[in-house]
Structure 1
């Protein structure tokens, strides 16, 4: 079995107390069974604090967030008291993994970094080179590839090639991916797409504010300043969604829909970036990183939201 990742993956590190949007705030933190047993074994003052900070119900356990939806072990300096008391190995799986995601195949596992993390977003969107996948681990086992896996990966390579064709503007590349998938997004105006997104489950009030701005802002004649300079970052954005989302079609069968969802996600973020420029008169990479972070947290991490958007895309057929 091989472990595959984007080349930039190994450069990622958590920025801890420097993070403006801590993953220890606002997210439910489930505790895996092995770590729950370990936490129960901790004695003394910190052990008592651990027991007090855990809720268990129906064979599941999670940390009890405080009134500000903060993990009980996130201190006011932005650091983790558990790491400071017990070491990094004491973290439960979800805390060790975040913002990593995995997609599984018969003969390989792909791992990546989610844009919901601002440090991951900065790393991904600042890449200048085309995506290269590398092998992080290989146990030498001769696992046989699955026919469906091979077909999906070959098709994704075609989509990658379209997305990374730097002889064409990024908007044309995205349109060609939609054409290849036999899907369209033009059944709704951008104001209508904004309304659809407003109907979805939301985490942050500011996300609704962005969507309302999209709905109400006339972008006629508006384009990003120095548009060519934005092409690498926007390419990385499009490729990220293709890398993360298309393999999920192996589970739900939404091959064309997942490709179209990747384009929709790319296009929504790009449109919101244009809105930011129209309203503020300036735009920098940090703005794209923040919009992508918010989109990923609001949409990618809600199965219900993704399913609704896949249905909306399917409506055009």
Structure 2
């Protein structure tokens, strides 16, 4: 069995207290059984805090969020008191993994970084070289790649090569990708797409504000964002979506729609950047990182939201 990741993966490092959008705020954090058993063994003041800070009344134990939906162990300095008191190995599985995600195949596991994390977003979207996949671990086994997995991986590689063809504009590459997937994006105005996104479950009021701005802003005088810097950043964004989203088609069979979802996501994020330029006078890659972070948190981490958008791709 192999462990495979994008070439930027090993460069990732959590920025902890320097993070503007801590993953320890606003998220319900489940505690897995093994970690819960360990927490039960902790004594002293920290052990008492653990007893008071975890709700075990339901099927899955979770930390009890405090004021501002903060994890009870996130201190005023933005650091984790559990890590300070017990070391990094003490964290529950979710805290250890985030922002990592995994997709499983018959002969490999693929791991990646979610752009809902600003540090991961900067690493991915500001990378200049093309994204490639590298083998991080290989136990020497000779597991056979099953036919559905092989077909998807070959197809995904073809789509990624289309997106990484820098002899074309990124928008042309997106069009070619749609042609290869035999899909089209329904011909809706930005205001109509904004309404669709506004109908979805939302977490941050800032995200709602962005969608309202997308609905109301005239982009006729907005920058096109087609300089080499932006073209490469959008390429990385589209490759990220292909790497992360296409594997779910093995479960739901929505191969073509998920490819189109990747293009739709790129285009909505691009146009949100253009809206930002109109309303604020300029836009840069840090703004792209923040808008992509919001999009990922609001859309990718909600199966219901993704499914609603997949359905919208078939509705005129």
Shorter-chain TM-score tier? over 0.9
Quick one: distance in 2 between partners of 1:171 and 1:255?
Answer: 21
Question: Which string of whole-angstrom CA distances, capped at 9 and with x for unpartnered residues, describes residues 91-128 of structure 1?
Answer: 00000000001010000000000000000000000111
- Mark the runs of 5 or more structure 2 residues left unpaired by the alignment: none
Question: Which string of whole-angstrom CA distances, capped at 9 and with x for unpartnered residues, describes residues 4-51 of structure 1?
Answer: 000110000000000000000000100111001111111111111101
State whether structure 2 residue 254 is matched by structure 1 residue 254. Answer: yes
Quick one: distance in 2 between partners of 1:58 and 1:286?
Answer: 40
Question: Which string of whole-angstrom CA distances, capped at 9 and with x for unpartnered residues, describes residues 255-296 of structure 1?
Answer: 011111111111110010011111111111100000000000
State whether structure 2 residue 144 is matched by structure 1 residue 144. Answer: yes
Kindly indicate whether the alpha-carbon contact (under 8 Å) linking 1:99 and 1:114 is maintained by their aligned counterparts in 2.
yes
Kindly report which structure 2 residues correspond to 1:1-317, keeping only aligned pairs within 5 A, or say none: 1-224=1-224, 227-316=227-316
Kindly indicate whether the alpha-carbon contact (under 8 Å) linking 2:17 and 2:78 is maintained by their aligned counterparts in 1.
yes
- Figure out how many residues of one structure are paired with residues of the other and give that number: 316
How much has 1:226 moved relative to structure 2? 6.2
How much has 1:177 moved relative to structure 2? 1.1
RMSD: 1.0
Quick one: distance in 1 between partners of 2:32 and 2:173?
Answer: 42
How much has 1:221 moved relative to structure 2? 4.0
Give the alignment's TM-score, normalised by structure 2: 0.98
Task: For residue 238 of structure 1, give the secondary structure of its aligned residue in structure 2.
Answer: helix
Quick one: distance in 2 between partners of 1:238 and 1:226?
Answer: 15
Quick one: distance in 2 between partners of 1:226 and 1:143?
Answer: 44
How much has 1:193 moved relative to structure 2? 0.5
Task: For residue 110 of structure 2, give the secondary structure of its aligned residue in structure 1.
Answer: strand
Task: For residue 264 of structure 2, give the secondary structure of its aligned residue in structure 1.
Answer: helix
How much has 1:57 moved relative to structure 2? 2.9
Give the alignment's TM-score, normalised by structure 1: 0.98
Quick one: distance in 2 between partners of 1:176 and 1:221?
Answer: 26
Quick one: distance in 1 between partners of 2:189 and 2:39?
Answer: 51
Kindly indicate whether the alpha-carbon contact (under 8 Å) linking 1:103 and 1:247 is maintained by their aligned counterparts in 2.
yes
Quick one: distance in 2 between partners of 1:194 and 1:107?
Answer: 40
Runs of 4+ in 1 over 3 A off after TM superposition: none
- Mark the runs of 5 or more structure 1 residues left unpaired by the alignment: none
